Structure 1
Amino acid sequence: MPPIEPPLSFNPAGIELDRRQGLTRQLYQALRQRVLDGRLVSGTRLPASRDLAAALSISRNSVVRAYDQLYAEGFIEGRVGDGTYVAQLPQTPTAGKKLSTKVSTGFSTGLSPGLSTNWLDLPVISSAEVIHSGPLTRMENNHLALPPSGPPRAFRVGVPAFDLFPFEIWAKLNAAFWRKPDLQQLCYGDPAGEERLRGLIAAYLRSSRGLQCTAEQIVITSGAQQAISLCAQLLVEPGDGVAIENPGYRAAGHAFAVAGGRLHGVSVDSEGIDCRALNALDSCRLAYVTPSHQYPTGVVMSLARRLELLAWAQRTGGWIVEDDYDGEYRYSGAPLAPLAALDRSGRVLYVGTFGKVAFPALRLGYLVLPTALVEGFARRRAVDVRHSEVSTQAVMAEFMAAGHFQRHVRRMRRAALSRRNVLLAGWPVDIPGVGSLPAVAAGLHLTVSVDSVARERQLIEQAAAADVEINGLSSYWLPDSSTPPDQRAGLVLGFAAVPEAQISLALSRLAQAWG
């Protein structure tokens, strides 16, 4: 029997920290980069937090927080009684190549941006024409289901705690803008968006999400849905295959179907989208994913799966549209770094929105794009709306520059956590046919399993009669899914829309309605 090799050890030499900046973030980035570029290989043993702190002459708390973030993102793992090790990462076609933590600022020589050139010639396509164009592009009920209107109530999905928004501050900033507006801002604006706001968004993403981008890579949109639609219009030609998570965000699927894409529903497991199924698809041009908090299952995509997905895009020349719709909401540690932060080949388009932090009616979102795509996206957007409404962009820029946005994000995260806890504590137990509540580490909603579609519909009807709003998981699946119907059943509940007292009242009504 060959001797057992001792684990590789980590030498902290070479890690230089600037004490004028956040030590935890710097250490996290340094260790993360060494894992990605191969200097720290899988199985390498890391020093105990106390030892690493002594070696770097920093506090142990800084090391613990950096380790916690690396644990959360899947870069390291603990072995009971044996310390901390670099996690086992998949062997992908990019193994051995340096993976940058920066979004690509361009494309390698000879790589075409590959924007669709047919969008100007496309006829207007009605929903009915899309539905009947083929089995892979049908949309349920012959139309796109619109979000519910009216005031928020329990347990509406996709609505943040906008009752906590600082409207007085916003009103003062808005009044100040209009009291003496810059005449230049009242002319036609840049279709990519207000320059100051783009710069502040880039700075926010760099500091809070680890996404190294510049203002020049950002295009402002009228919410996340327009950002997704732009991706569909410019990256998809009629007949192209488009992979979407199944179950998933149906409005995104609709946007790609309207652009002529042939939808392929790819199943989601406990680590995210099934990359083996994705690799088996022929002629798939684009994958739409929600890695930070899968919609609607709530799964957080693992690091191994993220690397597999990036390898697929690099191997096939495909695009990845990353919708980070509620990435600010993580309830232990810092928000996870987005998929775009791992992209080294300029294949990820990052979709962000202010609607889940401020309020949906704001209609303000953005795209972070590889630099070579920015001009094409800005020109295409100018055809639709010329540019975004100016005062909203200017006020949001001032809101961010004065520090109000960052404070509000922290407040919203605390509120969502409190409202989540009330739901988890008061949920009716022992309901026939209903599974147990999942652990909820991120996002604004949760999904609980139900044993059949018939039972799902019964529970939703009884909840509606009690004036409680619940979505059925079965409605998030593509009609042609191979998953048996009863395995698609579940309840999707948003927990952030209303205060704790209203959540408790709704839970009491549910307990009576469900008996």
Structure 2
Amino acid sequence: MTGSRTNISTGPAGRPWRFDLALDDGASVPRQTQLSRAIVQEIQRGRLLPGATLPGSRTLAAQLRVNRKVVVAAVGELVAQGWLEALPARGTRVALNLPTLAVADAEGHRSIEAARARRRAGGIAVNDGIPDARIAPVDALARAERRALRALARTGLGYGDAAGDPVLREVLAGFINHARGLSCSPEEVVLTRGSQGALSLFALAMLEPGEVVAVEHPGYAPAWRAFQLARADVVHVPVDADGLRTEELEAHARRLKGRLRAVYVTPHHQYPTTVALSAERRMHLRRICETFGLYIVEDDYDYEYHFEGAPLLPLSATKDLSSRCIYIASLSKLIAPAVRLGYIIADRSVVARLRAVRELLDRQGDVVLERAVAELIEDGEVQRHARRARQLYRQRRDHLLEQLASRPRLRAAIACDPPDGGLALWMRLRGLSSEELVGRAHARGLALTPGSAHVAAGSVPAFRFGFAAHTSEELSRICDTLEACLEADTGAKGR
């Protein structure tokens, strides 16, 4: 460890002549922060008394062998916090009335080794279909965020529009119209914190207690909880190989006699089964919504990741239904889950209600992030990343399918219909419950989510296997573990 050290002692005028402070050049904490904390610790220990005068910044910088800017920044921070006082033409002294709440000395640190140990102990987790954050354009995003912050600082960094940054809304409207066949204006776009934020915002703005939302079953349980958060009821409509069973949806609409307010669907790659809503059922769904005045809440969570043929146009691209369509999507699937940025496209009357509720919830979104992402879309960075990611994820999907087909034990125990796109496979189990498989996998350091996570009650002999976030080598190791789990089943039957 390299660093600098000097000692504290007090001269006859109460001025500390030497500082016994050590600054670590190799630490992750900036040196000005190290210096701030060290001075506060000396004050709290009583070695620097109230009224004691500090050396000048040049003297202290020379003693610590650091740039004078480091000292000026550290002292300025402590003056702002009330630990020090700047006296015109007399230097800087320890404040006579010290702060009652310690801020500068508070350390937020974590053990790197402990974090590594936790990761080692945690094994590997198969998610439900998220992108690989390791390939995200983080450097480009970081540079864009810095530029956005500087540009916004020139305008005062004040509050913005509750619907989101106007620049991104304009860019996004053009992007969506071109890429997904919609016809929307910036005034019909509301930015949210991910698609989950969009679902919750819709629920709170558009649903009344006691109203009903029809949802797919099995389906996306966090959406159900968002609707229930608004004290709406949920009715589950089965899904088969052609998607939502619209004849059952129509039966619910007739039975509920006006209480059914909306239907929530994932028609492109149904969650969790990955099937696409058939053309016949799409037309039937439109007729039902027209007849009963229902909103279609369309969650198009992974549109960019379609591998065979052309992706299906969103239901919201149909002009005669546009006023009844609530289109929800997320840029988190394009970049990384930690980038919480989703959006809603809806009729302007709906946008007005969404905007009013959003203003009450959190006033606005992350304007700096939104402006940065707008730059990445305008520069084509997001589109280039999507093309690279789509090619890579297709390779990973094909590798996983090859692993499943080439291993007799997996082939016998797991059935899977290769989807045309998406970031996950729906694995149907033969002769084994998903809960039993999850338990065996957990004992071997592999985390899986059972099929019961996607149904209202009971169990489903299936699980969702998100492949996109794993390399081919990782996918092969996961298949090794799955084989070991099934070997245990074979051994039990043999006994």
Where do residues 243-322 of structure 1 align in structure 2 (5 Å cutoff)?
A: 243-281=214-252, 282=256, 283-322=259-298
Contact 2:129–2:465 (CA<8 Å) still a contact in 1? no
Match of 1:475 in 2: 453
What letter is aligned with 2:169? R
CA distance in 1, matches of 2:236, 2:222: 14
Supply the distance in 1 between the matched residues of 2:197 and 2:156 (Cα, whole angstroms): 23
- Kept after mapping to 2: 8 A contact 1:154/1:506: no
Q: 1:438 aligns with which of 391, 406, 417?
A: 417
Query: Is the counterpart of residue 414 in structure 1 residue 383 in structure 2?
Result: no
Structure 2 counterpart of 1:77: none
What SS does structure 2 have at the residue aligned with 1:360? Answer: coil
Partner secondary structure for residue 446 of structure 2: coil
Is contact 2:358-2:364 (8 Å) kept?
Answer: yes
CA distance in 2, matches of 1:152, 1:329: 27
Describe the superposition over 1:176-196 as per-residue Cα deviations: whole angstroms up to 9, x where unpaired.
223453533611100011111
> Where does 1:151-300 land on structure 2 (aligned, <5 Å)?
153-184=124-155, 186-281=157-252, 282=256, 283-300=259-276
Aligned partner of 1:349 in structure 2 is 326
The alpha carbon displacement at 1:430 in A equals 3.2
1:298 and 1:290, CA in 2 relative to 1: closer, same or farther beyond 3 A? same
Given residue 391 of structure 1, which amino acid in structure 2 is its aligned partner? V
| Equivalent of residue 358 in structure 1, options 323, 331, 335 | 335
Question: Which residue of structure 1 lines up, in the alignment, with residue 474 of structure 2?
Answer: 502
| Matched residue type, 1:205 | I
2:405 aligned with 1:429, yes or no? no
Partner of 1:370: 347
Bigger CA radius of gyration: 2
Task: Indicate which of 334, 357, 360 corresponds to 1:380.
Answer: 357
Q: Which residue of 1 aligns with 2:374?
A: 397
Contact between 1:221 and 1:388, CA under 8 Å: does it hold in 2? yes
Q: Does the Cα contact within 8 Å between 2:165 and 2:370 map onto a contact in 1?
A: yes
* Partners of 1:371 and 1:310 in 2: CA distance: 20
Q: Report the equivalent of 2:462.
A: 490
What residue ranges of structure 1 are gaps of 5+ in the alignment? 1-148, 480-484
Counterpart Cα distance in 1 of 2:281 and 2:319: 13
Q: Return the alpha-carbon distance in structure 2 between the equivalents of residues 302 and 211 of structure 1.
A: 20
Please give the root-mean-square deviation of Cα atoms over the aligned residues, in Å. 2.0
Q: AA paired with 1:190?
A: D
Aligned-pair distance for 1:261?
1.4
Q: Distance in 2 between matches of 1:431 and 1:399?
A: 42
The aligned runs of 1:446-465 (5 Å cut-off) are 446-451=425-430, 455-465=433-443
How far off is 1:377 after superposition? 0.7
In the TM superposition, residue 449 of structure 1 has moved relative to its aligned partner by 1.4
Aligned counterpart for 1:332 among listed residues 308, 318, 334: 308
| Whole-angstrom distance in 1 between the partners of 2:414 and 2:475 | 20
User: TM-score when scaled to structure 1?
Assistant: 0.67
Which structure has more relative contact order (CA 8 Å, sep 6+)? It is 1
State the Cα deviation string for residues 7-64 of structure 1 (Å, max 9, x = none). xxxxxxxxxxxxxxxxxxxxxxxxxxxxxxxxxxxxxxxxxxxxxxxxxxxxxxxxxx
- Relative to structure 1, the CA distance from residue 266 to residue 185 in structure 2 (aligned partners, 3 Å threshold; closer, same or farther) is farther
Residue 471 of structure 1 aligns to a residue in which SS?
coil
Aligned equivalent of 1:50: none
Q: Name the aligned partner's letter for residue 445 of structure 2.
A: D
Using the TM superposition, give the Cα deviation of residue 431 of structure 1 relative to its aligned residue in structure 2, in angstroms: 4.3
The one-letter code matched in structure 1 to 2:238 is S
Q: Matched residue of 2:235: which SS?
A: strand
- What is the CA–CA distance in structure 1 between the aligned matches of 2:123 and 2:271, rounded to whole Å? 20
Gaps of 5+ in 2: 1-117, 488-495
Amino acid aligned to 1:396: V
> Partners in 2 of 1:250 and 1:343 — Cα distance?
29
Between the aligned partners of 1:435 and 1:502, the Cα distance in structure 2 is 19
1:311/1:351 Cα in 2 relative to 1: closer, same or farther (>3 Å)? same
- Work out whether residues 433 and 462 of structure 2, in 8 Å CA contact, stay in contact via their aligned partners in 1: no
Q: Is 1:511 aligned to residue 476 of structure 2?
A: no
Distance in 2 (CA, whole Å) between partners of 1:434 and 1:378 is 49
How far apart in 2 are the matches of 1:374 and 1:185? 27
Ranges of 4+ aligned residues in structure 1 off by more than 6 Å: 149-152
For 1:177, give the aligned amino acid: A
The offset of 1:343, in angstroms, is 4.5
How far apart are the structure 2 equivalents of 1:258 and 1:181? 35
Q: Secondary structure at the match of 2:131?
A: coil
| 8 Å contact from structure 2 (residues 415, 430) kept in 1 | no
Call closer, same or farther: CA 1:431–1:421 in 2, change over 3 Å.
Answer: closer
Aligned match for 1:466, one of 439, 444, 448: 444
Contact 1:221 1:366 in 2 (8 A): yes
Q: Which one has the bigger helix percentage?
A: 2
Shift of the 332–432 alpha-carbon distance from structure 1 to 2, 3 Å rule, reads closer
Instruction: Name the % identity.
Output: 33
Q: What amino acid maps onto 1:508 in structure 2?
A: D
Q: Say if 1:220 and 1:214 are closer, same or farther in 2 by CA, change over 3 A.
A: same
Q: CA deviation at 1:433?
A: 7.3
Secondary structure of the structure 1 residue equivalent to 2:482: helix
Which moves more between the two structures, 178-187 or 307-316? 178-187
1:185–1:362: structure 2 CA closer, same or farther, 3 Å change rule? farther
Aligned equivalent of 2:36: none
Q: Distance in 2 between matches of 1:152 and 1:189?
A: 43
Q: Distance in 2 between matches of 1:336 and 1:182?
A: 42
Q: Give the AA of the match of 2:427.
A: V
Name the TM-score, length of structure 2 as normaliser.
0.69
| Equivalent position SS for 2:303 | coil
Shift of 1:429: 3.2
Contact 1:161 1:415 in 2 (8 A): no
- Residues of 2 paired with 1:196 and 1:334: CA distance? 29
In the TM superposition, residue 462 of structure 1 has moved relative to its aligned partner by 1.6
Distance 1:404 1:225, change over 3 A: same
- Decide which moves more: 461-470 or 283-292: 461-470
Cα offset for 1:460? Answer: 1.4
8 Å CA contact 1:154–1:494 kept in 2: the answer is: no
